[in-house]
Chains A and B, each alone.
Chain A
Amino acid sequence: MLYTNHPILNNLKEVIKECIAGNRSMQNEFYKYYASRMMGVCLRYSKNRDEAEEILQEGFIKVFMCMHQYKFKGSLEGWIKRTIINCALQKIRSKSSLYPVINIDDIAERYAGADTMTDLHAKELLALIQNLPTMCKLVFNLYVFEGMTHKEIAEMLHIAEGTSKSNLHDARIMLQKQLGEGIQMLKTKM
């Protein structure tokens, strides 16, 4: 949960300066404040939690390294998110052929320890996105969560605009199908 009156937000300029200067305790505070939110983003772009944590780690290193480039134009959170998404894309590009195919049967087992129904619901939905083929997942995330147009997605992923559209369509179809199957499976397990 992000707090609007958190000290980080109250002294944002100072915090950023300290982080740029390499003040480790300040960087830790900064990380603590944004980590869970960004972990949610990383989970959507990754195949599993381990990979999401890897992206988060690399993303935050990049954030601290490039913090001097943030010119206080636009929200800091948006800037961090973009940096982390870029990191995720970079990682996916470099490792895309190594992805194991995750079976939808694993979903219920993986989140068997979830605390609440709401939590389970979100985690299950996340798992459905994670289970999408790489390109469909990327296009879906960028289109739905980042609000990008197909033109922007096409430029970012170096694909044709039509490919972006068809990937989004495929993603939706697969999600719809998996959503039905997942619910069915959970019902069976319960």
Chain B
Amino acid sequence: MMDKNLHEIDQFFLDSLENYEEDPAEDVWASVENDLNKTDVVKYKTKYKFLLRGVVCLSLLLISLWLNDIIQTYTYRLKQSDKSIANFKAKQSSKENNKSKKRNGNNTFNDVYITKHAENNLYLSKSNDSKSEIEKAGDKIFQEDKFYSHNQIQQLDSILIFKKRDKFLPPKNLPAINKDAQKWFQFPGHASAKNQMLNKQKNQSIQLKAKHNFYIIPFFSYDIIKERLLEQYKYDNQDQLAVAKREKPDASYTLGLLAEYRLSKKYSVQAGISLSNSFTSISSTVIRAIPDNSGTYKFKLATTYGLAEIKRTGMNPQNGDSIRLKDASLQLQYVSVPVMIKYQIKPGNFNVSGLAGMGVNRIVNEKMEVEYASNTNAETEVVEKIEGLKKTFITLIVGGEASYTVNKRISIGISPAIRYSLTPVNEGTPIKTFPVSISTAALVKIKL
């Protein structure tokens, strides 16, 4: 009996309270709205932080690559500067060898040595013992397979080059060697030989500079904006075709700065930042007042990007009201951060490359200028917000680059590209829009 009563309590409470409703205090919504605003701020901050982190990471990566490039180039230059002596010696010896061959019909020689104070104390040897003897005597042997600094060359009094096969010649044979050497290797003179060597080094240094891997690329592009559209629902019985038909893309453009780092002979990575402005003209149409979800009648122009509410001053739209739109222009401004891989198809002065990558785009400004007919004259209004427009969208970038090397530091070129949106630019709108930008950029590549 007791149990039965207890179970009846359940039913009694359920029947009495299941559909119980009570209005909360009015300030509850204010608190909810306040908290939502705070959450939005946090959300935007997080998004911006994400963007900021991306930019910082990218910058750090580029800086570290640049530093690495500088270090590598410096090391390479050191090695090459030493090698340049060796190359010079080898070339000189080769020249002399050819000359000697012409003169004597003799065989080639295999190695070269350069000595200091050659005319006074000349030793030729690859033997360590002999070398130490020579060094003790204040002379220096410059060997092909070792590297010497610019200063070392500057300090040379004279340069003579000898055959490797003359492995060791004792001092007693010195006059004969001197004679032999001068006979075999006739430099135009010690000073000019030294100058040749220094010039050669200078040239090598210029060539090394050309090996820098970093480029800065300012560019300007002319863009044609197309859209891939997906109809979500009809607004005021207007389908996707009707909305798209009254829109016409105007000339749009992009300004930007890219940094390019050469990973190898064929591959480079490009990253940077750009600011795009896209314009769309909207032709004349009639906008009817349509009730929103709260039942309030509003004039909203349906565009492929979203709904633009026209708040005609002094007019409270009612059922059956309409306005005639004469003309409208939609402007979107967005910042893009592209990251691309570049593949060099044709190297040389006229260079052709292919590009592929991704870009994160953030809409920073949206504006629609509308002109509508009134009883007296045309009125204009600026709509600052397009309902449903998303702030961030991601694009796939595919393109190419053709550039011409003007000089060692500067190249000019053009870069056609297609930016295809992977994510829609809007949400909750009658039409889901994926912008597709076809652009041709004029660029200048500057070697750092």
Where the two chains meet, the residues of A that have a C-beta atom closer than 8 Å to any C-beta of B are: 1, 7-8, 11, 14-15, 17-18, 20-29, 31-32, 35-37, 39-40, 43-44, 52-53, 56-57, 60-61, 64-65, 121-122, 125-126, 129, 140, 143-145, 169, 172-173, 175-176, 179
Is B17 within 8 A of A125, CB to CB? yes
Counted as pairs of residues, one from A and one from B, with CB atoms less than 8 Å apart, the total is 113
Q: List 23 A-B contacts (CB under 8 A).
A: A14-B293, A25-B292, A29-B293, A29-B294, A35-B29, A36-B21, A36-B24, A37-B19, A40-B20, A43-B20, A53-B28, A57-B31, A57-B32, A121-B16, A122-B17, A125-B17, A129-B17, A144-B10, A145-B13, A145-B18, A172-B7, A175-B13, A176-B6
Q: Given A61-B39, A64-B36, A125-B16, A39–B10 Cβ distance below 8 Å? A: no
Q: Which 4 A-B pairs have the closest CB atoms?
A: A17-B428, A40-B20, A36-B21, A172-B6
Inter-chain contacts of B40 with A (CB < 8 A) = 22
**In whole angstroms, how far apart are the Cα atoms of A25 and B294 in the complex?**
9
**In whole angstroms, how far apart are the Cα atoms of A44 and B19 in the complex?**
12
Chain B residue with Cβ nearest A143: B10
One digit per residue, 1 when the CB lies within 8 angstroms of any chain A CB and 0 when it does not, for chain B 1-41 equals 00001110110011011111111110011011101100110
**In whole angstroms, how far apart are the Cα atoms of A31 and B21 in the complex?**
14
**Besides the known contacts A22-B36, A40-B20, A57-B32, 15 further A-B residue pairs in the complex with CB atoms under 8 A apart:** A15-B293, A17-B427, A17-B428, A21-B388, A24-B33, A35-B29, A36-B23, A39-B22, A40-B21, A43-B22, A44-B17, A44-B20, A56-B28, A172-B9, A176-B5
Is A36 within 8 A of B22, CB to CB? yes
Is B36 within 8 A of A126, CB to CB? no
Chain A residue with Cβ nearest B18: A145
**In whole angstroms, how far apart are the Cα atoms of A173 and B17 in the complex?**
18
**In whole angstroms, how far apart are the Cα atoms of A28 and B28 in the complex?**
11
Inter-chain contacts of B387 with A (CB < 8 A) = 23
Is B29 within 8 A of A28, CB to CB? yes
Is A31 within 8 A of B22, CB to CB? no
B19, B21, B35 interface centre (most CB from chain A within 10 Å): B21
Chain B residue with Cβ nearest A42: B24
**In whole angstroms, how far apart are the Cα atoms of A145 and B18 in the complex?**
7
Is B23 within 8 A of A20, CB to CB? no
- In whole Å, how far is A150's beta carbon from the nearest beta carbon of chain B? 13
**In whole angstroms, how far apart are the Cα atoms of A144 and B10 in the complex?**
6
* Chain B interface residue count, Cβ-Cβ cutoff 8 angstroms: 37
Interface of A, helix, strand, loop or mixed by DSSP:
helix
- In whole Å, how far is A163's beta carbon from the nearest beta carbon of chain B? 18
Inter-chain contacts of A60 with B (CB < 8 A) = 32
Is B21 within 8 A of A37, CB to CB? yes
Is A27 within 8 A of B293, CB to CB? no
Residue from the list B13, B32, B295, B428 in contact with A129, Cβ < 8 A = B13
Is A7 within 8 A of B293, CB to CB? yes
Q: Is B233 an interface residue (CB 8 A)?
A: yes
Inter-chain contacts of B18 with A (CB < 8 A) = 145
Inter-chain contacts of A18 with B (CB < 8 A) = 293, 388, 428
Q: Given A40-B21, A43-B22, A172–B10 Cβ distance below 8 Å? A: yes
Inter-chain contacts of A21 with B (CB < 8 A) = 388, 390, 427-428
A14, A125, A143 interface centre (most CB from chain B within 10 Å): A14
Is A122 within 8 A of B33, CB to CB? no
Inter-chain contacts of B33 with A (CB < 8 A) = 24, 27-28
Is B13 within 8 A of A125, CB to CB? yes
Q: Given A126-B17, A145-B14, A56–B24 Cβ distance below 8 Å? A: yes
B16, B28, B293 interface centre (most CB from chain A within 10 Å): B293
Is B428 within 8 A of A39, CB to CB? no
Q: For chain B residues 266-283, which have a beta carbon within 8 Å of chain A?
A: none
**In whole angstroms, how far apart are the Cα atoms of A32 and B293 in the complex?**
12
Is B428 within 8 A of A14, CB to CB? yes
Is A122 within 8 A of B9, CB to CB? no
- In whole Å, how far is A62's beta carbon from the nearest beta carbon of chain B? 10
Is B233 within 8 A of A1, CB to CB? no
Q: For chain B residues 355-391, which have a beta carbon within 8 Å of chain A?
A: 387-388, 390
Inter-chain contacts of B294 with A (CB < 8 A) = 7, 25, 29
Is A144 within 8 A of B24, CB to CB? no
Residue from the list A39, A126, A145, A172 in contact with B23, Cβ < 8 A = A39
